[in-house]
Amino acid sequence: MSKPSSFAGDLSGLPTHAFGARSLTWWGVIAYMLIEGTAFALAGASYLFLMSQEQNWPPARLPDLLAGTLFTVVILLSELPNIILKKAAEKEDLAQVRRWLIVLDLIGLLLLVIRGFEFQMINVRWNDNAYGSIAWALLLLHTVHILTDWVDSAVLTALMFTPHGKGRRFVDVSEDCLYWRFVWLTWLPIYLLLYWAPRVA
Amino acid sequence: MTRPEDLPRDGPALQGEELHRRLSVTWGRAPGLWGWLMTVDHKEVARRYLITALAFFSFGGVLALMMRIQLATPESGLIDPDRYNQIFSMHGTTMMFLFAVPVMEAMAIYLVPLMVGTRAIAFPRLNAFSYWLYLAGGVMIWIAFILNVGPEAGWFTYVPLAGPEYSPGKRTDFWAQMVTFTEVAALAVAVELVATIVKQRAPGMSLDRMPLFVWSILVTALMVIFSMPAVALASGMLISDRLVATHFFNAAEGGSALLWQHLFWFFGHPEVYIIFLPGLGFVSQITETFCRRPVFAYPAMVAALLLTGLLAFGLWVHHMFATGLPRLGYAFYTAASMAIALPSGVQIFCWIATMWESRPRLEIPMLYVIGFIVTFVIGGITGVMVASVPLDLELHDTYFVVAHFHYTLIGGAVFPLLGALTYWFPKMTGRMMGKRMGLTAFALVFLGFHLTFMPMHFVGMMGMPRRVYTYPASMGWEGLNRLSTVGAFVLAIGLLVFAGNLALSLRRGRLAGPNPWNAASLEWAPASPPPPYNFAHIPVVGGHTPLWDDHGRLTYMSGLRVDDRELLLTTAIDATPDLREPSPTPTIWPLLAALATTGLFIWSIFDPWAVVWGSIPVAITLTLWFWPKSREPATEPVIE
Amino acid sequence: MRRLMPLLALAASGCAGVQSMTGGAGLGSRQFNTLMLAFLIVTGLAYLFVLLFLGGAFVRRRRENVGNFMRPLLIGWTAFILVGIALLTLLSCLDDRQSALAGTGQPPLKIEITANQWWWQVTYQDPMASRTLITANELHLPVGRPVEITLKASDVIHSFWVPGLAGKQDLIPGRTNHIRLLPRRIGLLRGQCAEFCGMQHAHMALDVIVESPARFAAWYAAQLRPASPPATALAQAGQAWFLSHQCVTCHSIAGTTAGGRTGPDLTHVASRRTIAAGTLPMNPGSLAGWIANPQGPKPGNHMPTIAMSGAELSAVVAYLGSLE
């Protein structure tokens, strides 16, 4: 590099964090959603495939609606505090973010408890037959999502109460909200498959 | 605290030797083993991937030679059926999961950040983590094989053969978990590459100015994202059928053997294009350089890559033509399987058209391009044949198909890879590979390849099925088999010469400057090998061929931090500068998290509860990985 | 075209063997040859163009204005590929239709084949139960009469494939598949399992004898008869030993108390060309070797090694060898 370089512009005025598609990690979250979404779609397709091969579906008792429907209602309602949290993060309002993170952490815990009941109330075990296996698989896949998102949120909540709670961390919170949206959006088709497809078939 | 304006940044005031010195400190790592374990430099991680993948390639090759020795004689008693079945299963598994995809990943991890003009790959710690997982999966399956617990149901492990009743023991479980290791690694790399390509391109490198190799990697990464979940799901279902008595594939309890095939091939078909597309990217870059012209009809080339990636997802049932599904449905897959010949055909035309525009320099990489064209098209032709249901019903599961996929995989991916290694060796090492050895290797590889695999078309048509450990003397197959065996050894010698050339040139190759081939793309701007920070200043790009434009004088953007790792994010389509992004420093957490994950994966082969308990160390290591370092707030100041 | 076919077959396979797919002994195989030729012509033309085009890039000396003809040439090439693909797809579909419609107007012969690790159970079906024939590992077919085979599997996925007659179909546990054959030439053919099915996949073959309707009827009648009682003292001793040992758990011999169905039916085993699903020729020597040590020629197969003295072995071999 003996010759001096020629410069067309300067980058020092650029910000170091931004929300939405401007954020690098946003693309990571989107890619992760595509991966998990594909896995869910294929698991759902497997459910439908197995259903099409069977005369009686389910070859077992119908799943009880209570726990699953309660879960669905709660998770849909959770979008409300989720919207508030996302907006607060994008305004970088620390107090609001702390408050609503805790609210969502508690809702997450509640959902995990209800989910525990769901596993019993679908009235079939994973090793009874293929229907039981795929039903448990769908429920388990989604539970892993709730769990990993919950751990993620818990860590973020802790972070926001430390001196690290500034700048880029608000972007992390906003993206966590985005991911939560994905968690309940993917639940809806699974709910329909698990609880209503056997009733319609 | 220093004011943002006072922080040292690259630019007119700070460039040249002084800048290089300071950036090397900021972007370097501690010397020795500890630093090596903690590195997040994409070039170092890529080299690891490359060496490991090439090692697995040689192991898989040795297995192939063993099979060829066995099959040279009818009713050979050399290798017993159990061992042979493990050998062919491990050959396919090693080549597909442990060599072909990882080696392409390796080249992408190394080249993409350099080609798009950025300082690091996106998510560098994830990159480091992915390598350790890949290594763990490969080592696990090979130890299992050496201990005689290797998979023996093929690389595709059809059920019910691979299920709990007909494959007792842990063999298939090791296979299924190896898939988990490698597929998590591949998905991680795919995410990094998409993010790097979309967000970290140099200013001015709009999508329509991206090098064709980068396009091929973008499409490949997207294919990985949409196809790998299928094999992850399938292998998860297989492990759970075997370990906790689920019935996904158990016909007696409502499961289906065809469910496995659908899920596996939904992954399996795109998988071969995942391997093939980066090879096409290599060919584009090499052709451009040695023809001294950008490849003819760039928009057609990009469209061909996109169309290939898309069509690849509509073909999978062509692996199932003999399973008795409705014939009307098959017609769609025949049409799609033949249609995919179109984009490849267009690309072949465009490369040759580029050669017409200006006579190519016949350097070794260009020879491999020619070898690729001559060989791959044959594979494409036999592919069109097996796309036809009536033809496929005879040819399926015979040596004809073995010939077909080796023509496409070796012709279409390995030949370009050998060309690419020769081509980018100077960039990676600062030395040229030897020309005479290179020529010898090329000749032996080309000759050996055709001698090995061309006879297989014919012995297949004579009725020799695949995956047989022996065959009767009365069939008349030994002549062609013997020819293939001889060819295999010629091919092996050729590859040994290539490897020898690699090793010798590392020490004694002619020294290379930044751009010994006089190429046009950005990776040839930095020194050979590049410094840890890649580019001292972020380059600005005005066209397809940055190093050929304006007499090779690049323009830059100044202003990135020098004492902290910082790179530039640009907008997705037009690549206008948008954000300054901090880049992670070396850390041991990716390795620790990988160890925890390895523990989880291996333990769960033996005990379902491992999924619960084994997750805890993983969660802890991941949390500590992502927990911000205390000095981070000091890197935040922004000039508003 | 007709005269080109045998030449092609010869060139492609060097004297079509019993398992060659270019033999053309059945309708499916003949259609394969014709279709393959069409494919070779179309794709061969494409390859020729590629080679010439590539060669031309190095031979040409002047480099001006290639862009002028490159663009139209690219369009032409694309059109050629599209038309070629469409043509080949159409020909494939026509081939399928032709196979589906083929039949000589005769009622089809109905057979059910169940694949097991590593042998074939063959059941000739007949509306009269007394005319249902169960045999193993060998198929006799009358020439010119369509055959409909129902395909089932008892354990893992196998694939039924007689290349000389037609393409293959998988036998999948839990599913029933079908295949139609139309043998057109008298002779001996060989089939082999074409889906990896475990340890002895390589030794799961099938002898196929296509014969005149008269000979087929004679064979069928002979096969329907129960096993002939052993004539010699040695063979009688062999039968006594056979019926009082584990053999009967797996094997059946019609007309005796042996009724096992997990292994091949042995009623007329000596009339078959080979034993152990095409692994060994049917003769006293291989029979003795097989019974004494089944794990030798076919390691991992499900027939246990039963301890017997040399005299007992000779007797059993003599008995089984008499079951024509």
Tokens, residue B130: 């992915």
Q: How far is B311 from chain C (nearest CA, A)?
A: 15
Give the confidence band of B443 by pLDDT, cuts at 50, 70, 90: very high
Contact C162, C151 (CB under 8 A): no
Q: In this predicted complex, what is the ipTM?
A: 0.96
Asked if B374's CB is within 8 angstroms of C196's CB, the reply is no
Q: Which pLDDT score is estimated for C13?
A: 45
Contact A26, A20 (CB under 8 A): yes
Q: Which pLDDT score is estimated for B119?
A: 97
In total, chain A counts a number of residues equal to: 201
Tell whether the model's pLDDT for residue B640 goes beyond 50: no
Residue % of chain B over a pLDDT of 70: 98
pTM of the model: 0.95
Counting as contact any 3 or more CB pairs under 8 A, the partners of C are: B
Residue to test with chain B: of C201, C274, C302, most B Cβ within 10 A: C201
Tell whether the model's pLDDT for residue B241 goes beyond 60: yes
Picking from B352, B360, B390, the nearest residue to C53 by CB comes out as: B352
Q: Which pLDDT score is estimated for B631?
A: 54
Share the mean pLDDT of chain B: 95
Q: Which pLDDT score is estimated for B630?
A: 66
Write the secondary structure of B408-439 as one string of H (helix), E (strand) and C (coil).
Answer: HHHHHHHHHHHHHHHHHHHHHHCECCCHHHHH
CA A134 from centre of chain = 20
Nearest CA in chain B to A129: B253
Nearest CA in chain A to B640: A13
Counting as contact any 3 or more CB pairs under 8 A, the partners of A are: B
Q: Whose CA is closest to B175, among B147, B146, B148, B154?
A: B154
What is the pLDDT averaged over residues B404-418?
98
Q: Whose CA is closest to B559, among A3, C68, A76, A12?
A: A12
Q: Which amino acid is at A21?
A: A
Segments of chain A scoring below 70 in pLDDT = 1-3
Tokens, residue B31: 């010397």
Tell whether the model's pLDDT for residue C66 goes beyond 80: no
Nearest CA in chain B to A39: B229
Q: Which pLDDT score is estimated for A58?
A: 84
Asked if B370's CB is within 8 angstroms of C13's CB, the reply is no
Q: Which pLDDT score is estimated for A60?
A: 78
Whole-angstrom CA distances from B632 to A12, A169, B200, B627, C57 are: 18, 11, 22, 11, 58
Q: Which pLDDT score is estimated for C61?
A: 66
What confidence tens digit (pLDDT) does each residue in C130-162 have?
899 999 999 999 999 999 999 999 999 999 999
Tell whether the model's pLDDT for residue C12 goes beyond 70: no
Q: Among A108-122, B454-468, B550-564, C167-181, whose mean pLDDT is lowest?
A: B550-564
Contact A133, B246 (CB under 8 A): yes
Q: Which residues 103-122 of chain A have a CB within 8 Å of chain B?
A: none
Calculate the CA dihedral of residues B171, B92, B50, B594 and round it to 10 degrees: -20
What is the pLDDT averaged over residues C86-112?
87
Give the confidence band of C27 by pLDDT, cuts at 50, 70, 90: confident
Q: What angle do CA C101, C102, C104 make, to 5 degrees?
A: 130
In total, chain B counts a number of residues equal to: 640
Give the confidence band of B638 by pLDDT, cuts at 50, 70, 90: very low
3-class DSSP state of C193:
coil
Q: Whose CA is closest to B466, among B513, B400, B404?
A: B400
Calculate the CA dihedral of residues B280, C45, B453, B86 and round it to 10 degrees: 70
Give the confidence band of B5 by pLDDT, cuts at 50, 70, 90: confident
Give the confidence band of B635 by pLDDT, cuts at 50, 70, 90: very low
What is the pLDDT averaged over residues C266-273?
96
According to DSSP, the β-strands at B577-582 and B538-540 are unpaired
Distance in angstroms (rounded) separating the CA atoms of residues B615 and A133: 22
Q: How far is B325 from chain C (nearest CA, A)?
A: 9
Tell whether the model's pLDDT for residue C33 goes beyond 50: yes
What confidence tens digit (pLDDT) does each residue in B333-347 have?
999 999 999 999 999
Q: How far is B163 from chain A (nearest CA, A)?
A: 14
Q: Which pLDDT score is estimated for A1?
A: 45
Share the mean pLDDT of chain C: 91
Asked if B161's CB is within 8 angstroms of C172's CB, the reply is no
Tell whether the model's pLDDT for residue B629 goes beyond 90: no
Give the confidence band of C69 by pLDDT, cuts at 50, 70, 90: confident
Contact B233, B263 (CB under 8 A): yes
Q: What angle do CA B405, B408, B413 make, to 5 degrees?
A: 120
Distance in angstroms (rounded) separating the CA atoms of residues C324 and C320: 8
Q: Which pLDDT score is estimated for C315?
A: 96
Asked if A27's CB is within 8 angstroms of B195's CB, the reply is yes
Q: Whose CA is closest to B456, among B402, B408, B411?
A: B402
Tell whether the model's pLDDT for residue B550 goes beyond 90: no
Q: Which residues of chain B lie closer than 8 angstroms to C74, CB-CB?
A: 297, 300, 346, 349-350, 353
Picking from C12, C168, C190, the nearest residue to B461 by CB comes out as: C12
Distance in angstroms (rounded) separating the CA atoms of residues C120 and C138: 8
What confidence tens digit (pLDDT) does each residue in B114-168 have?
999 999 999 999 999 999 999 999 999 999 999 999 999 999 999 999 999 999 9
Q: Which residues of chain C lie closer than 8 angstroms to B158, CB-CB?
A: 156-157, 195-196
Residue with tokens 């044949």: B385
Q: Which pLDDT score is estimated for C1?
A: 44
CA B397 from centre of chain = 26
Asked if B560's CB is within 8 angstroms of A11's CB, the reply is yes
What confidence tens digit (pLDDT) does each residue in C165-175 have?
999 999 999 99
